[in-house]
Structure 1
Amino acid sequence: MQLPLKLDARTYSTAIALYMIAFYVWNFSFDPTSRIWSIGCNAFSTMGSLTAAVWLVVGSRNLAQPDRRFWLLVAFGSCCYFGGDATWFLIQVALVSKVPSPGLPDVLYLLSTLAYILAIGYKIVTRRFEFRLAPLFDIAIMMTVAISLSREFIVKPIFLQDGNTFTPSVLISLIYITSDLVLLFGALALYWVLDRIHGKQSLLYIIFGMALQIAADSVYYSPFANSNEWVYAVIDPLYTLSLLLISLGGYVSRIPESKNGTPQICNNRNEAVRMALPYTMIVMMLIILLLQQERVSIVMWGFASSILLIVLRQFNSYRFKLKVASEEVRSIRNYLDSFVNHTLDAIHVTDQHGNVLRINHAFEELYGWRAAEILGKPLNNIPDSLREEYENILRAVRRNESVPDYETVRYTKSGTLVDVSITTTPILDDKDEVVATASITRNISARKKSEEALLQSEKLSVIGQLAAGVAYEIRNPLTTLKGFIQLQQRGIIISDPNLSLMLAELDRINLIVSEFLVLAKPQATDFRMVNIQAILAEIDVLLQPQAIMQNIQISIAPPVAIPSVYGESNQLKQVFINILKNAMEAMPCGGNVCIELRADSSCLLIRFSDQGCGIPQESITQLGDPFFTNKENGTGLGLMVSKQIIANHKGSITFDSTLGEGTTVDIRLPIIQLPSN
Structure 2
Amino acid sequence: MINKKIFKDKYFWIISSLIVVITFFHYSNLMAEWEIHIFYRKLYYIPIILSSFRYRLKGGLISSIIVSILYAPHLSIFRTGISITLLNQYLEIALFLTIGFITGKLVELDYEKQKSLENKVIEITKLQNYTKNIVDSINSGVLSTDPNFIITSINKEVEKIFGEKDLEGVNITRILKDKNIIDILNQAKIQKIHFSDIKTEIKVGDEEKYLALTISPLFNILDKVQGLVIIIQDKSREKYLEAQTVRTDRLVAIGELASGIAHEIRNPMGIIKTISQTLKEEKGDKDLVEGLEIIIKEVDRANKVIDGLLNFARPIENEMKEISLSELLKEVVLITDKYLSKQNISMELNINEDTNIIADKEKLKQVFINIIFNGVQSMSSGGTITINTEIIDNGVNISFIDTGIGIKKENLEKIFNPFFTTKEKGVGLGLSVSHRIIQDHNGYITIDSTESKGTQIDIYLPMS
Q: TM-score range by the shorter chain?
A: 0.3 to 0.5
Decide which structure has the larger Cα Rg and report it.
1
Higher percent of residues as helix:
1
TM-score of the superposed pair, with normalisation by structure 2:
0.32
Higher percent of residues as strand:
2
TM-score of the superposed pair, with normalisation by structure 1:
0.22
